[in-house]
Amino acid sequence: MAEKEMEAMAEQTGKKLSASTLKKCFWNWFFWNGCSQQAESMLGLAFGQSMAPVIDELYDTKEEKAAALKRHTSLFNTEAQVGSICSGIVCGLEETNANGKCTPEVIESVKVALIGPTSAIGDSLWVGTIIPILLTICMTLSQASVSWLGPVVYMIAYPLGTALLSWKLFQLGYKGGLEGMQTMMATGKLDRLTNAMVIMGLIVVGALTASNVVATIPFGIVGEVFDAASNATIPAVLFDANVMLDGFFPKLLPLLLTLFIYHLYAHKNWSPLKIMALIVVLAIALTAVQYLTGYADVQAVAAAAAAA
């Protein structure tokens, strides 16, 4: 009786993706979303590979499967974690298409429409906000307590957080995320959310810059001053260019260095390797100037005074 009831329900509801197939689709995307990234189709091949089990279950003929795979290996790009909602939405659309209630053209149009919002929200929320906050927490743990604690926490929290966020968004997409996304886009909530995430991400990046980027001007003056307590002359810092700058604009040099690196990367198309090489060269050159000008003595005297 139970088997007959299930068959009757299947006839009424049409084709339905199984839970195991949905999980295969999700894990294919989660682990392999960046495996085939290139300029021609971006993440298209990875998206097609993630949809392979869905297509295999929904369609019967070789021609139908080939057509479905072809439309899912075309140009596609998104932020991988938040972009998992795209996979969920497309699974629901493919299921609807297999039951004759949708068209391939609609699926392709929806995929293209989702590229912009999911990329913007993903880059702002995950890459620009959550990851920097997590890194800040872990670096603070390493500095405040055991040095290995921060990396361990990051290695545990990052993959678990990524998997949880991606899976929940995938489920949201499959269960009706398209309607929700359309509603957010129509009411303007999506733009407001994107702008809020961009602002929050910029605040976090600014805090990281002030906390972790170090840049100094290797110029200062050390002189002898009379110390009444010891009734003797002691070395003291008479002038420090960095203290003067921090007096009217704290962390100005780290900010300028960060903006300069951003300019090279975003506007001059410098590769990360070239930028890292430049930073190394600058560090070596400024360290040499520091010792040649005697600024190392300024730092040593300042450290001794602070310790006293």
What is the rounded distance in angstroms from the CA atom of residue 174 to the CA atom of residue 172?
A: 6
Distance separating alpha carbons of residues 68 and 92, to the nearest angstrom? 14
Which backbone phi and psi does 280 adopt, to 5 degrees? -65, -45
71 closest CA partner among 59, 79, 85? 59
Give the pLDDT band (50/70/90) at residue 131: confident
Q: Residue 270: which residues within 8 A CB-CB, separation 6 or more?
A: 264, 278
Beta partners for 235?
224
d(CA 259, CA 271): 16
Predicted local distance difference test score (pLDDT) of residue 301? 67
Model pLDDT for residues 134-183, shown as the tens digit of each residue: 888 888 888 877 888 889 999 999 999 999 999 999 998 898 755 655 56
Tell which wins on pLDDT, 246 or 299: 246
pLDDT digits 0-9 by tens, 227-243: 777 777 777 767 778 88
For the question of whether the overall pTM of this predicted structure is more than 0.85, the answer is no
